[in-house]
Structure 1
Amino acid sequence: MNLNVSELHGTLRERLRLRSRLLKLVPRGERVTRMTGWADLDNSPLGEGAIHRALDNHQGHLIHKWRHYPDVYDEVLAGYRNGFPLPDGGYRPIRLIEIGVSEGGSLEFWREWFGPDAQIVGIDIDPSCADLVDPSVATIRIGSQADPDFLRSVVDEMGGVDIVIDDGSHVASHQKVTFDTLWPRLSTNGMFLIEDTHTTYWPGFEGGLRRPGTAIEEAKQLVDDMHARYYIEAGEDAASEPRHPDLWSVAFYDSIIVMRKRSARTPARITRGTQVRPASDWAEEGY
Protein backbone atom coordinates (compact mmCIF):
# COMPACT_ATOMS: atom_id res chain seq x y z
CA MET A 1 0.00 0.00 0.00
CA ASN A 2 1.53 3.32 -1.10
CA LEU A 3 0.35 6.48 0.68
CA ASN A 4 0.98 10.16 0.17
CA VAL A 5 2.58 12.11 3.04
CA SER A 6 -0.72 13.31 4.53
CA GLU A 7 -2.25 9.84 4.41
CA LEU A 8 0.93 8.34 5.85
CA HIS A 9 0.89 10.64 8.86
CA GLY A 10 -2.76 9.87 9.58
CA THR A 11 -2.17 6.14 9.25
CA LEU A 12 0.82 6.23 11.61
CA ARG A 13 -1.07 8.20 14.24
CA GLU A 14 -4.00 5.79 14.11
CA ARG A 15 -1.80 2.71 14.29
CA LEU A 16 0.08 4.05 17.28
CA ARG A 17 -3.20 4.72 19.08
CA LEU A 18 -4.59 1.29 18.20
CA ARG A 19 -1.41 -0.50 19.32
CA SER A 20 -1.43 1.29 22.65
CA ARG A 21 -5.07 0.37 23.29
CA LEU A 22 -4.57 -3.20 22.10
CA LEU A 23 -1.50 -3.93 24.19
CA LYS A 24 -2.75 -2.13 27.31
CA LEU A 25 0.84 -1.80 28.44
CA VAL A 26 1.65 1.86 27.86
CA PRO A 27 0.63 4.02 30.82
CA ARG A 28 -1.69 6.96 30.36
CA GLY A 29 -0.21 10.44 30.33
CA GLU A 30 1.41 13.12 28.18
CA ARG A 31 3.55 11.82 25.32
CA VAL A 32 4.31 14.93 23.32
CA THR A 33 6.31 18.10 23.73
CA ARG A 34 6.45 21.25 21.67
CA MET A 35 9.48 19.80 19.87
CA THR A 36 7.53 16.89 18.41
CA GLY A 37 4.85 16.59 15.78
CA TRP A 38 4.61 15.99 12.06
CA ALA A 39 5.57 19.45 10.83
CA ASP A 40 9.25 18.49 11.30
CA LEU A 41 9.21 15.78 8.62
CA ASP A 42 12.17 16.25 6.28
CA ASN A 43 12.62 13.58 3.61
CA SER A 44 15.41 15.35 1.72
CA PRO A 45 18.60 13.30 1.11
CA LEU A 46 20.30 12.38 4.39
CA GLY A 47 23.95 12.90 3.54
CA GLU A 48 27.07 11.35 2.06
CA GLY A 49 27.88 8.71 4.69
CA ALA A 50 27.55 5.08 3.68
CA ILE A 51 24.71 4.40 6.09
CA HIS A 52 22.99 7.64 5.02
CA ARG A 53 23.09 6.58 1.38
CA ALA A 54 21.85 3.11 2.28
CA LEU A 55 18.87 4.56 4.13
CA ASP A 56 18.11 6.94 1.28
CA ASN A 57 18.08 3.98 -1.11
CA HIS A 58 15.80 1.83 1.06
CA GLN A 59 12.65 0.59 -0.65
CA GLY A 60 9.92 -1.53 0.86
CA HIS A 61 8.37 -1.35 4.31
CA LEU A 62 8.24 1.97 6.11
CA ILE A 63 11.13 3.19 8.27
CA HIS A 64 10.20 5.97 10.70
CA LYS A 65 13.08 7.49 12.69
CA TRP A 66 14.51 10.85 13.71
CA ARG A 67 16.56 12.36 10.92
CA HIS A 68 19.78 12.50 12.97
CA TYR A 69 19.77 8.77 13.82
CA PRO A 70 21.86 7.82 10.76
CA ASP A 71 24.62 10.12 12.10
CA VAL A 72 24.64 8.04 15.29
CA TYR A 73 24.49 4.74 13.41
CA ASP A 74 27.37 5.85 11.21
CA GLU A 75 29.47 6.59 14.29
CA VAL A 76 28.72 3.50 16.37
CA LEU A 77 27.81 0.74 13.90
CA ALA A 78 30.19 1.30 11.01
CA GLY A 79 32.72 -1.06 12.60
CA TYR A 80 30.26 -3.93 12.35
CA ARG A 81 29.50 -3.53 8.63
CA ASN A 82 31.71 -6.49 7.67
CA GLY A 83 30.55 -8.62 10.60
CA PHE A 84 31.45 -9.03 14.26
CA PRO A 85 35.19 -8.43 14.75
CA LEU A 86 37.19 -11.34 16.13
CA PRO A 87 40.48 -11.25 18.09
CA ASP A 88 42.40 -12.69 15.13
CA GLY A 89 41.32 -9.82 12.90
CA GLY A 90 38.62 -11.80 11.13
CA TYR A 91 34.86 -11.45 11.24
CA ARG A 92 31.81 -13.60 11.77
CA PRO A 93 28.16 -12.82 10.90
CA ILE A 94 26.43 -10.32 13.19
CA ARG A 95 23.66 -11.49 15.54
CA LEU A 96 21.22 -8.62 16.05
CA ILE A 97 17.99 -8.22 18.01
CA GLU A 98 15.71 -5.27 17.34
CA ILE A 99 12.87 -4.80 19.80
CA GLY A 100 9.93 -3.07 18.17
CA VAL A 101 9.02 -4.26 14.67
CA SER A 102 6.53 -1.51 13.73
CA GLU A 103 6.12 -1.73 9.92
CA GLY A 104 9.18 -3.94 9.41
CA GLY A 105 11.21 -1.42 7.44
CA SER A 106 13.97 -1.19 10.02
CA LEU A 107 14.50 -4.96 9.95
CA GLU A 108 14.74 -4.79 6.17
CA PHE A 109 17.32 -2.04 6.45
CA TRP A 110 19.48 -3.96 8.92
CA ARG A 111 19.45 -6.88 6.50
CA GLU A 112 20.53 -4.55 3.70
CA TRP A 113 23.26 -3.06 5.89
CA PHE A 114 24.68 -6.17 7.59
CA GLY A 115 24.31 -8.50 4.61
CA PRO A 116 22.85 -11.91 3.87
CA ASP A 117 24.78 -13.83 6.54
CA ALA A 118 23.67 -11.72 9.52
CA GLN A 119 21.24 -13.28 11.99
CA ILE A 120 18.48 -10.72 12.55
CA VAL A 121 15.58 -11.18 14.96
CA GLY A 122 12.75 -8.75 15.57
CA ILE A 123 10.73 -8.80 18.79
CA ASP A 124 7.26 -7.35 19.18
CA ILE A 125 4.27 -7.96 21.43
CA ASP A 126 1.80 -7.30 18.62
CA PRO A 127 0.85 -10.59 16.89
CA SER A 128 0.03 -8.71 13.67
CA CYS A 129 3.78 -8.13 13.21
CA ALA A 130 4.56 -11.84 12.94
CA ASP A 131 4.52 -12.06 9.14
CA LEU A 132 5.40 -8.49 8.19
CA VAL A 133 8.71 -9.33 6.54
CA ASP A 134 9.96 -12.24 4.52
CA PRO A 135 11.74 -14.91 6.63
CA SER A 136 14.87 -14.25 4.58
CA VAL A 137 14.91 -10.73 6.03
CA ALA A 138 14.44 -11.52 9.71
CA THR A 139 12.89 -13.90 12.18
CA ILE A 140 10.12 -12.24 14.20
CA ARG A 141 9.33 -13.46 17.69
CA ILE A 142 6.10 -12.38 19.39
CA GLY A 143 6.43 -11.67 23.09
CA SER A 144 7.01 -8.97 25.68
CA GLN A 145 10.30 -7.21 26.26
CA ALA A 146 9.27 -7.14 29.91
CA ASP A 147 9.37 -10.96 30.07
CA PRO A 148 12.87 -12.13 31.02
CA ASP A 149 12.18 -15.79 30.24
CA PHE A 150 10.98 -14.89 26.74
CA LEU A 151 14.01 -12.69 26.09
CA ARG A 152 16.41 -15.38 27.29
CA SER A 153 14.70 -17.96 25.08
CA VAL A 154 15.21 -15.75 22.01
CA VAL A 155 18.93 -15.37 22.73
CA ASP A 156 19.23 -19.10 23.35
CA GLU A 157 17.66 -19.77 19.94
CA MET A 158 20.15 -17.42 18.33
CA GLY A 159 23.15 -18.84 20.13
CA GLY A 160 24.05 -15.38 21.46
CA VAL A 161 23.57 -11.74 20.54
CA ASP A 162 26.04 -9.03 19.49
CA ILE A 163 23.84 -5.96 19.03
CA VAL A 164 20.59 -5.10 20.80
CA ILE A 165 18.45 -2.19 19.62
CA ASP A 166 15.63 -1.39 22.04
CA ASP A 167 13.03 0.51 20.05
CA GLY A 168 10.10 -1.20 21.73
CA SER A 169 7.46 0.10 24.13
CA HIS A 170 9.71 2.91 25.48
CA VAL A 171 8.15 2.26 28.90
CA ALA A 172 10.79 2.75 31.61
CA SER A 173 10.14 -0.45 33.54
CA HIS A 174 10.15 -2.49 30.31
CA GLN A 175 13.46 -0.96 29.21
CA LYS A 176 15.03 -1.81 32.57
CA VAL A 177 13.93 -5.45 32.39
CA THR A 178 15.28 -5.66 28.86
CA PHE A 179 18.69 -4.26 29.76
CA ASP A 180 19.02 -6.27 32.97
CA THR A 181 18.14 -9.47 31.09
CA LEU A 182 20.07 -9.04 27.87
CA TRP A 183 23.23 -7.24 29.00
CA PRO A 184 24.67 -10.36 30.70
CA ARG A 185 24.03 -12.31 27.48
CA LEU A 186 25.49 -9.68 25.16
CA SER A 187 28.75 -10.69 23.47
CA THR A 188 31.98 -9.16 24.68
CA ASN A 189 32.63 -6.20 22.34
CA GLY A 190 28.91 -6.04 21.67
CA MET A 191 26.65 -3.01 21.80
CA PHE A 192 23.30 -2.14 23.38
CA LEU A 193 21.30 0.79 21.99
CA ILE A 194 18.16 2.33 23.49
CA GLU A 195 16.31 4.51 21.01
CA ASP A 196 13.78 7.31 21.42
CA THR A 197 14.94 8.16 24.93
CA HIS A 198 13.16 11.51 24.67
CA THR A 199 10.18 9.47 25.91
CA THR A 200 11.91 9.18 29.29
CA TYR A 201 10.70 12.73 29.96
CA TRP A 202 7.03 11.93 29.23
CA PRO A 203 4.71 10.65 32.01
CA GLY A 204 2.93 8.46 29.48
CA PHE A 205 6.02 6.25 29.41
CA GLU A 206 6.67 6.23 33.18
CA GLY A 207 8.93 9.20 32.55
CA GLY A 208 9.67 12.67 33.86
CA LEU A 209 12.63 15.00 34.28
CA ARG A 210 15.13 13.25 36.60
CA ARG A 211 12.51 10.66 37.50
CA PRO A 212 14.23 7.59 38.98
CA GLY A 213 14.04 4.43 36.91
CA THR A 214 13.94 5.96 33.43
CA ALA A 215 16.49 4.88 30.82
CA ILE A 216 18.25 8.26 31.07
CA GLU A 217 18.53 8.09 34.86
CA GLU A 218 19.55 4.43 34.81
CA ALA A 219 22.27 5.21 32.28
CA LYS A 220 23.49 8.13 34.42
CA GLN A 221 23.73 5.67 37.31
CA LEU A 222 25.75 3.33 35.11
CA VAL A 223 28.27 6.13 34.59
CA ASP A 224 28.56 6.58 38.36
CA ASP A 225 28.73 2.83 38.83
CA MET A 226 31.50 2.54 36.23
CA HIS A 227 33.61 4.72 38.55
CA ALA A 228 32.59 3.04 41.82
CA ARG A 229 36.14 2.01 42.67
CA TYR A 230 37.15 5.67 42.85
CA TYR A 231 34.54 6.90 45.33
CA ILE A 232 36.11 8.82 48.21
CA GLU A 233 33.50 11.43 49.09
CA ALA A 234 31.69 9.12 51.50
CA GLY A 235 34.93 7.63 52.81
CA GLU A 236 37.18 4.89 51.55
CA ASP A 237 34.66 2.24 52.51
CA ALA A 238 32.27 3.61 49.90
CA ALA A 239 34.52 2.44 47.07
CA SER A 240 33.53 -0.86 45.53
CA GLU A 241 33.73 -2.83 42.33
CA PRO A 242 31.27 -1.74 39.59
CA ARG A 243 28.08 -3.78 39.23
CA HIS A 244 28.87 -4.13 35.52
CA PRO A 245 32.66 -4.41 35.30
CA ASP A 246 32.29 -5.33 31.63
CA LEU A 247 30.67 -1.98 30.81
CA TRP A 248 33.19 -0.18 28.62
CA SER A 249 31.34 3.01 27.77
CA VAL A 250 28.03 4.87 27.95
CA ALA A 251 27.36 7.43 25.23
CA PHE A 252 24.44 9.85 25.19
CA TYR A 253 23.07 11.22 21.94
CA ASP A 254 19.87 13.12 21.29
CA SER A 255 17.25 10.40 21.96
CA ILE A 256 19.73 7.48 21.85
CA ILE A 257 21.89 5.84 24.51
CA VAL A 258 24.68 3.50 23.42
CA MET A 259 26.44 1.10 25.81
CA ARG A 260 29.47 -0.93 24.79
CA LYS A 261 30.73 -4.10 26.41
CA ARG A 262 34.35 -5.17 26.90
CA SER A 263 36.10 -7.88 28.89
CA ALA A 264 36.03 -7.05 32.60
CA ARG A 265 39.38 -5.82 33.82
CA THR A 266 40.75 -3.86 36.76
CA PRO A 267 42.23 -0.54 35.61
CA ALA A 268 46.00 -0.39 35.76
CA ARG A 269 48.48 2.38 35.15
CA ILE A 270 51.26 2.28 32.57
CA THR A 271 54.55 4.13 32.22
CA ARG A 272 56.73 4.63 29.16
CA GLY A 273 60.06 6.43 29.09
CA THR A 274 62.44 6.95 32.01
CA GLN A 275 63.40 10.64 32.11
CA VAL A 276 61.77 12.59 34.96
CA ARG A 277 62.33 15.98 36.55
CA PRO A 278 64.03 16.16 39.94
CA ALA A 279 61.53 16.15 42.75
CA SER A 280 62.72 19.62 43.79
CA ASP A 281 61.43 21.01 40.49
CA TRP A 282 57.86 19.84 41.02
CA ALA A 283 55.24 22.36 41.99
CA GLU A 284 53.84 21.54 45.39
CA GLU A 285 50.20 21.90 44.38
CA GLY A 286 48.69 18.93 42.68
CA TYR A 287 51.27 16.36 43.79
Structure 2
Amino acid sequence: MKAKNENLTDLADRYGSDKGSTKHRYTELYHMLFHPYRQRKINFLEMGLLIGGPEHGIDKDRKTTDVPSIRMWLEYFPKANIHGLDVSDFSWFEHERFTFHRCDMDDRAEIARTMDAMDAPDIVIDDASHASHHQQNAFLEIFPKLKSGGLYIIEDLRWQPDPYEVPGITKTAALLRSFIDERTFSHSDPAIAEGFNALIPEMSACIVHPVRYQKKRKDQVAVIHKR
Protein backbone atom coordinates (compact mmCIF):
# COMPACT_ATOMS: atom_id res chain seq x y z
CA MET A 1 0.00 0.00 0.00
CA LYS A 2 1.29 3.44 -0.88
CA ALA A 3 1.90 5.80 2.02
CA LYS A 4 0.44 9.28 1.91
CA ASN A 5 2.86 12.01 0.76
CA GLU A 6 5.65 9.61 -0.19
CA ASN A 7 8.93 11.37 -0.84
CA LEU A 8 11.72 9.98 -3.02
CA THR A 9 13.31 8.03 -0.13
CA ASP A 10 9.98 6.34 0.58
CA LEU A 11 9.74 5.31 -3.07
CA ALA A 12 13.33 4.05 -3.14
CA ASP A 13 12.73 1.89 -0.09
CA ARG A 14 9.45 0.55 -1.48
CA TYR A 15 11.00 -0.43 -4.82
CA GLY A 16 14.25 -1.76 -3.36
CA SER A 17 16.61 0.86 -4.79
CA ASP A 18 19.96 1.19 -3.02
CA LYS A 19 19.65 4.98 -3.39
CA GLY A 20 17.31 5.06 -0.36
CA SER A 21 17.65 4.85 3.40
CA THR A 22 18.90 1.25 3.49
CA LYS A 23 22.27 2.11 1.91
CA HIS A 24 23.43 5.31 0.16
CA ARG A 25 20.76 7.85 1.19
CA TYR A 26 21.17 9.67 -2.14
CA THR A 27 17.42 10.20 -2.31
CA GLU A 28 17.57 12.69 0.56
CA LEU A 29 19.70 14.93 -1.66
CA TYR A 30 17.83 14.07 -4.84
CA HIS A 31 14.42 14.90 -3.41
CA MET A 32 15.63 18.43 -2.68
CA LEU A 33 17.24 18.80 -6.11
CA PHE A 34 14.51 17.15 -8.17
CA HIS A 35 11.32 18.26 -6.48
CA PRO A 36 10.99 21.39 -8.68
CA TYR A 37 11.05 19.07 -11.73
CA ARG A 38 8.58 16.56 -10.33
CA GLN A 39 5.45 17.65 -12.21
CA ARG A 40 7.28 18.81 -15.33
CA LYS A 41 7.52 16.97 -18.64
CA ILE A 42 11.26 16.40 -18.53
CA ASN A 43 13.71 13.96 -20.10
CA PHE A 44 15.51 11.91 -17.47
CA LEU A 45 18.43 9.55 -18.12
CA GLU A 46 19.87 6.98 -15.74
CA MET A 47 22.92 4.89 -16.65
CA GLY A 48 23.22 1.58 -14.79
CA LEU A 49 19.90 -0.10 -14.06
CA LEU A 50 20.61 -3.03 -11.73
CA ILE A 51 23.37 -3.99 -9.31
CA GLY A 52 25.76 -6.55 -10.81
CA GLY A 53 27.23 -7.01 -14.25
CA PRO A 54 30.76 -6.86 -15.68
CA GLU A 55 31.98 -4.51 -12.92
CA HIS A 56 31.38 -7.43 -10.54
CA GLY A 57 32.81 -10.05 -12.88
CA ILE A 58 29.37 -11.07 -14.20
CA ASP A 59 28.80 -11.45 -17.94
CA LYS A 60 27.13 -8.46 -19.60
CA ASP A 61 24.60 -10.87 -21.12
CA ARG A 62 23.37 -11.81 -17.66
CA LYS A 63 19.66 -12.34 -17.10
CA THR A 64 18.15 -9.15 -15.68
CA THR A 65 15.01 -9.32 -13.56
CA ASP A 66 14.19 -5.88 -12.20
CA VAL A 67 14.70 -2.14 -12.64
CA PRO A 68 14.18 -0.74 -9.11
CA SER A 69 15.31 2.82 -9.76
CA ILE A 70 13.46 3.09 -13.07
CA ARG A 71 10.23 2.05 -11.34
CA MET A 72 10.95 4.69 -8.71
CA TRP A 73 11.61 7.44 -11.27
CA LEU A 74 8.49 6.61 -13.27
CA GLU A 75 6.37 7.14 -10.18
CA TYR A 76 8.28 10.15 -8.86
CA PHE A 77 8.15 11.96 -12.22
CA PRO A 78 4.61 11.21 -13.53
CA LYS A 79 5.04 13.31 -16.67
CA ALA A 80 8.69 12.55 -17.49
CA ASN A 81 10.16 10.52 -20.31
CA ILE A 82 12.55 8.14 -18.57
CA HIS A 83 15.56 6.73 -20.44
CA GLY A 84 17.68 3.87 -19.15
CA LEU A 85 21.15 2.97 -20.42
CA ASP A 86 23.08 -0.21 -19.59
CA VAL A 87 25.58 -2.65 -21.07
CA SER A 88 23.17 -5.48 -20.19
CA ASP A 89 19.77 -6.01 -21.77
CA PHE A 90 16.70 -4.49 -20.12
CA SER A 91 14.55 -4.27 -23.25
CA TRP A 92 12.04 -6.64 -21.63
CA PHE A 93 10.85 -3.82 -19.34
CA GLU A 94 8.05 -1.92 -21.05
CA HIS A 95 6.33 1.31 -20.07
CA GLU A 96 4.85 4.01 -22.26
CA ARG A 97 7.26 6.60 -20.77
CA PHE A 98 10.38 4.41 -20.67
CA THR A 99 12.99 3.85 -23.39
CA PHE A 100 15.92 1.48 -23.01
CA HIS A 101 19.32 2.02 -24.70
CA ARG A 102 21.97 -0.71 -24.67
CA CYS A 103 25.41 0.87 -24.71
CA ASP A 104 29.04 0.05 -23.85
CA MET A 105 30.67 2.92 -21.95
CA ASP A 106 34.08 1.86 -23.26
CA ASP A 107 33.11 3.29 -26.65
CA ARG A 108 32.65 7.08 -26.81
CA ALA A 109 31.32 6.86 -30.36
CA GLU A 110 28.64 4.45 -29.17
CA ILE A 111 27.70 6.81 -26.34
CA ALA A 112 27.44 9.66 -28.85
CA ARG A 113 25.19 7.59 -31.16
CA THR A 114 22.99 6.69 -28.19
CA MET A 115 22.61 10.34 -27.24
CA ASP A 116 21.73 11.25 -30.83
CA ALA A 117 18.80 8.83 -30.54
CA MET A 118 17.16 10.66 -27.63
CA ASP A 119 16.00 14.18 -26.84
CA ALA A 120 18.28 16.37 -24.74
CA PRO A 121 18.06 15.33 -21.08
CA ASP A 122 17.21 17.61 -18.15
CA ILE A 123 18.70 15.28 -15.54
CA VAL A 124 21.39 12.60 -15.91
CA ILE A 125 22.50 10.10 -13.28
CA ASP A 126 25.60 7.97 -13.87
CA ASP A 127 25.21 4.83 -11.75
CA ALA A 128 26.83 2.55 -14.32
CA SER A 129 30.11 0.61 -13.91
CA HIS A 130 31.81 3.32 -11.77
CA ALA A 131 35.05 2.81 -13.69
CA SER A 132 36.81 6.18 -13.94
CA HIS A 133 37.22 6.14 -17.72
CA HIS A 134 33.58 5.14 -18.20
CA GLN A 135 32.42 8.04 -16.02
CA GLN A 136 34.69 10.41 -17.91
CA ASN A 137 33.70 9.08 -21.35
CA ALA A 138 30.04 9.53 -20.46
CA PHE A 139 30.47 13.05 -19.12
CA LEU A 140 32.40 14.26 -22.15
CA GLU A 141 29.74 12.94 -24.53
CA ILE A 142 26.58 13.60 -22.52
CA PHE A 143 27.13 16.84 -20.58
CA PRO A 144 27.23 18.93 -23.79
CA LYS A 145 23.79 17.45 -24.67
CA LEU A 146 22.30 18.38 -21.29
CA LYS A 147 19.72 21.15 -21.37
CA SER A 148 20.61 24.54 -19.92
CA GLY A 149 19.81 24.50 -16.21
CA GLY A 150 20.09 20.71 -16.14
CA LEU A 151 21.76 18.50 -13.54
CA TYR A 152 24.46 15.88 -14.15
CA ILE A 153 25.12 13.48 -11.26
CA ILE A 154 27.85 10.88 -10.83
CA GLU A 155 27.35 8.33 -8.06
CA ASP A 156 29.72 6.14 -6.03
CA LEU A 157 32.93 8.09 -6.64
CA ARG A 158 34.62 6.27 -3.76
CA TRP A 159 34.62 2.86 -5.52
CA GLN A 160 36.07 1.66 -8.82
CA PRO A 161 35.76 -1.94 -10.09
CA ASP A 162 38.97 -3.94 -10.47
CA PRO A 163 37.83 -5.67 -13.71
CA TYR A 164 37.39 -2.32 -15.48
CA GLU A 165 39.58 0.32 -13.87
CA VAL A 166 42.47 1.50 -16.05
CA PRO A 167 45.81 1.47 -14.17
CA GLY A 168 47.19 4.94 -13.51
CA ILE A 169 44.08 6.82 -14.58
CA THR A 170 43.07 9.91 -12.62
CA LYS A 171 40.04 8.99 -10.54
CA THR A 172 36.90 10.95 -11.32
CA ALA A 173 36.67 12.23 -7.73
CA ALA A 174 40.22 13.62 -7.97
CA LEU A 175 39.45 15.12 -11.38
CA LEU A 176 36.41 16.95 -10.01
CA ARG A 177 38.27 18.00 -6.87
CA SER A 178 41.01 19.55 -9.00
CA PHE A 179 38.38 21.81 -10.57
CA ILE A 180 36.77 22.66 -7.23
CA ASP A 181 40.14 23.57 -5.70
CA GLU A 182 41.97 25.11 -8.67
CA ARG A 183 39.17 26.00 -11.13
CA THR A 184 40.86 23.85 -13.75
CA PHE A 185 40.67 20.10 -14.44
CA SER A 186 43.88 18.11 -14.01
CA HIS A 187 44.21 14.60 -15.46
CA SER A 188 46.97 12.10 -16.23
CA ASP A 189 45.77 12.13 -19.85
CA PRO A 190 46.17 15.65 -21.32
CA ALA A 191 43.41 14.98 -23.87
CA ILE A 192 40.91 14.19 -21.12
CA ALA A 193 41.95 17.29 -19.20
CA GLU A 194 41.53 19.37 -22.34
CA GLY A 195 38.07 17.91 -22.96
CA PHE A 196 36.87 18.70 -19.44
CA ASN A 197 38.41 22.16 -19.39
CA ALA A 198 36.66 22.99 -22.66
CA LEU A 199 33.35 22.43 -20.86
CA ILE A 200 34.04 24.80 -17.95
CA PRO A 201 32.14 27.71 -19.56
CA GLU A 202 29.04 25.49 -19.58
CA MET A 203 29.24 24.71 -15.84
CA SER A 204 27.68 26.93 -13.20
CA ALA A 205 28.43 24.68 -10.21
CA CYS A 206 30.28 21.50 -9.29
CA ILE A 207 29.63 20.02 -5.85
CA VAL A 208 31.03 16.78 -4.42
CA HIS A 209 29.47 15.23 -1.32
CA PRO A 210 31.15 12.70 1.01
CA VAL A 211 29.71 9.33 1.98
CA ARG A 212 26.60 9.78 4.14
CA TYR A 213 27.42 13.50 4.50
CA GLN A 214 30.35 12.72 6.84
CA LYS A 215 33.28 15.04 6.10
CA LYS A 216 35.99 12.53 7.05
CA ARG A 217 34.73 9.89 4.60
CA LYS A 218 35.59 9.56 0.93
CA ASP A 219 33.89 11.50 -1.85
CA GLN A 220 30.69 9.79 -2.88
CA VAL A 221 28.42 11.74 -5.25
CA ALA A 222 28.99 14.70 -7.59
CA VAL A 223 26.40 17.18 -8.83
CA ILE A 224 27.29 19.41 -11.79
CA HIS A 225 24.84 22.12 -12.84
CA LYS A 226 24.79 23.38 -16.42
CA ARG A 227 24.49 27.07 -17.21
Per the TM superposition, whether the score is higher than 0.5 is yes
Write out aligned runs for 1:210-225 (5 A): 212-224=169-181
Equivalent of residue 256 in structure 1, options 208, 217, 221: 221
Please say if 1:100 is aligned against 2:63.
no
Partner of 1:245: 201
Partner of 2:91: 130
Work out whether residues 206 and 214 of structure 1, in 8 Å CA contact, stay in contact via their aligned partners in 2. no
Distance 2:24 2:133 in 1: 27
Distance 1:49 1:136 in 2: 23
Say how many residue pairs are matched: 184
Please list every run of 5 or more consecutive structure 2 residues that lacks an aligned counterpart in the other structure: 51-65, 186-196, 212-219
Equivalent of residue 121 in structure 1, options 83, 102, 106: 83
Work out whether residues 44 and 121 of structure 2, in 8 Å CA contact, stay in contact via their aligned partners in 1. yes
Write out aligned runs for 1:121-160 (5 A): 121-127=83-89, 129-131=90-92, 133-160=93-120
Please say if 1:168 is aligned against 2:132.
no
Residue 151 and residue 123 in structure 1: after superposition, are their counterparts in 2 closer, same or farther (change >3 A)? same
Equivalent of residue 206 in structure 1, options 165, 168, 178: 165
How many angstroms does 1:158 deviate by?
A: 2.0
Distance 2:42 2:153 in 1: 15
Q: Which has the larger radius of gyration?
A: 1
Distance 2:153 2:6 in 1: 20
How many angstroms does 1:154 deviate by?
A: 2.7
How many angstroms does 1:177 deviate by?
A: 0.4
Aligned-CA RMSD value: 2.5
Distance 2:98 2:208 in 1: 28
Write out aligned runs for 1:183-198 (5 A): 183-198=143-158
Counterpart residue identity of residue 130, structure 1: S
Work out whether residues 132 and 172 of structure 2, in 8 Å CA contact, stay in contact via their aligned partners in 1. yes
Partner of 1:19: none
Work out whether residues 145 and 174 of structure 1, in 8 Å CA contact, stay in contact via their aligned partners in 2. yes
How many angstroms does 1:141 deviate by?
A: 1.0
Query: Matched residue of 1:189: which SS?
Result: coil
How many angstroms does 1:51 deviate by?
A: 1.8
How many angstroms does 1:98 deviate by?
A: 0.6
Residue 63 and residue 54 in structure 1: after superposition, are their counterparts in 2 closer, same or farther (change >3 A)? closer
How many angstroms does 1:198 deviate by?
A: 1.7
TM-score (norm 1): 0.57
The percent of aligned pairs where both chains have the same amino acid is 24
Distance 1:203 1:126 in 2: 19
Distance 1:188 1:100 in 2: 24
How many angstroms does 1:205 deviate by?
A: 5.2
How many angstroms does 1:163 deviate by?
A: 1.0
Residue 217 and residue 204 in structure 1: after superposition, are their counterparts in 2 closer, same or farther (change >3 A)? farther
Work out whether residues 178 and 184 of structure 2, in 8 Å CA contact, stay in contact via their aligned partners in 1. no
